[in-house]
Amino acid sequence: MERWILLGVVAIGFASGLPVAFALGLGSAVYVMLVPSIDITMMAQRMIYGIDSFLLLSVPFFILSAEVMNNTGTTRRIFNFAQALVGHIPGGLAHVNVINSMIFAGMSGSAIADAAGVGMMEVEAMVQEGYPKPFSAALSAATSTVGPIIPPSIPMVIYGSIASVSVGSLFLGGVIPGTIMGLAMMGLVYVQALRRGFPREPRVTLRGLVTAVLQGIPPLLAPAILLGGIYTGFFTPTEAAAVAVLYALFLGMVVYREMGLRELPHLLLRVVENTASIMFIVVTASVFGWILAREQIPQTITAGFLQITRNPVLMLLILNVLFLILGMFMETLAIMLIFFPIVVPIVQAVGIDLVHFGVVAVLNLMIGLLTPPFGMLLFLMSGLTKLPMSSILRELVPYIVILVGVLLLISLVPQLVLFIPNLTR
């Protein structure tokens, strides 16, 4: 009976619009009070245990590195570098948008940071050149999904913590899928540019290209430094996040000199706010997950799924459909913390590689950021551009289809994810 009350309270909380952390915490508290054998102090202990992870220390550091990049000249120089490379192609600035997000992904690890930072700069530049504002907003939202696929990646850090999987292998596993995502979106942009007559930028001179490349080299070194350090054993993924912050500060304060110590307190405050909201969900989800395990709900669900099929391909497709639906109604972090502890045993039981599943699942959840009614990127771009979500969504549909196609491709061809990680095993 208590388990149904728990699930009922959480479901009502979600349906009523209660924040995820409060819904999970309220349901867990009601359950603990209804079960006499559980001391209320156990709830506090489980909350502390939920964030007692060295790996989770990387989350605020990656958030801070993205904030620093967005508040210095780094993002503008990345934009200029991408513009020099592909601006002359039909739909030039739209291609720049894609390339820009792919490069920024190697430093931030966050789709929201990409959209809120370089995304808005891209929208403004495209609108000034005559691109429709809804198209510009939709493209910026779609390209932001590359952020957590190309390493580093905050969602992959969280998945690695949940599934006890090498974060370094997850990072490497995202390189090829992230590149495919970018190329697929550029292909769609090219077709749309020819059909709709989008403008192209003048080809830059050789001197301009050299200047843009030289300015773009320092930001491009960031992912190489991070991945190189992890795989040479020089530092751990958590330490790599701290290195990302130091490198971002070095670029902003020493190389470009567009940021001073006075800006740091404001940035740190924003990082604290973002980290606190994430960790609040983590601690309440930890208690919720502990209760689910106590009630043996994951084992029951696992047995049910295994009765449907033990074929790994079919199981992965079923889970993809499940997460695509969940992504329409729930926040990404909540899905990961609530459902991944349940799903990981199923994945292991049918023989799916956990690195492969991790990359597939993260891409799946990034698509959820674009889909109504809950898509966070859709909400964010609507708020930033003051456009109705319906106008952005109309332009976004082809890109959602493209991304679902990439999701299906990497689901059916595991080597697209595992090829690079296997080279290091």
The pLDDT score that the predictor gives to residue 364 is: 95
R_g over Cα of the chain: 22
| Helices 154-163, 354-368: crossing angle, 10 deg rounding | 130
Map tokens 């110590």 to a residue. Answer: 261
The residue-averaged pLDDT of 389-397 equals 91
Reported confidence tier of residue 91, pLDDT bands at 50, 70, 90:
confident
pLDDT over 80 (residue 337): yes
The residue-averaged pLDDT of 100-123 equals 73
Please state whether 89 falls in left (phi above 0), alpha (psi between -120 and 50) or beta: beta
- For residues 170 and 383, the model is more confident at 170
φ, ψ (nearest 5 deg) of residue 203: -65, 130
Task: Output DSSP code: residue 117.
Answer: I
Task: Give the 3-state secondary structure of residue 246.
Answer: helix
Q: What is the spatial distance between Cα 377 and Cα 44, in angstroms, rounded to a whole number?
A: 33
- Helix, strand, coil percent content, the chain, rounded in steps of 5: 80, 0, 20
The pLDDT score that the predictor gives to residue 108 is: 64
Q: Residue 323: what residue type?
A: F
pLDDT over 70 (residue 264): yes
Reported confidence tier of residue 109, pLDDT bands at 50, 70, 90:
low
70 touches 107 (CB < 8 A):
no
Q: What is the spatial distance between Cα 6 and Cα 9, in angstroms, rounded to a whole number?
A: 5
User: Other C-beta atoms within 10 Å of 418: how many?
Assistant: 20
Dihedral in degrees, nearest 10, Cα atoms 317, 329, 355, 415: 40
Q: What is the spatial distance between Cα 216 and Cα 227, in angstroms, rounded to a whole number?
A: 18
CA-nearest of 219, 260, 199 to 81 is 219
- Range of lowest pLDDT (111-115, 157-161, 290-294, 336-340): 111-115
* Mean pLDDT for the chain overall: 84
- Chain centre distance of CA 46: 26
Q: What is the spatial distance between Cα 264 and Cα 313, in angstroms, rounded to a whole number?
A: 48
Reported confidence tier of residue 117, pLDDT bands at 50, 70, 90:
low
The pLDDT score that the predictor gives to residue 107 is: 65
Cα-based distances in Å from 206 to 88, 175, 211, 420: 13, 30, 9, 34
The pLDDT score that the predictor gives to residue 335 is: 85
CA-nearest of 408, 361, 319 to 156 is 361
pLDDT tens-place string over residues 33-81: 888 888 778 788 888 877 777 777 777 888 788 778 777 767 777 777 8
The pLDDT score that the predictor gives to residue 328 is: 82
The pLDDT score that the predictor gives to residue 209 is: 77
Q: What is the spatial distance between Cα 386 and Cα 406, in angstroms, rounded to a whole number?
A: 30
Reported confidence tier of residue 19, pLDDT bands at 50, 70, 90:
confident
Map tokens 């819904």 to a residue. Answer: 23
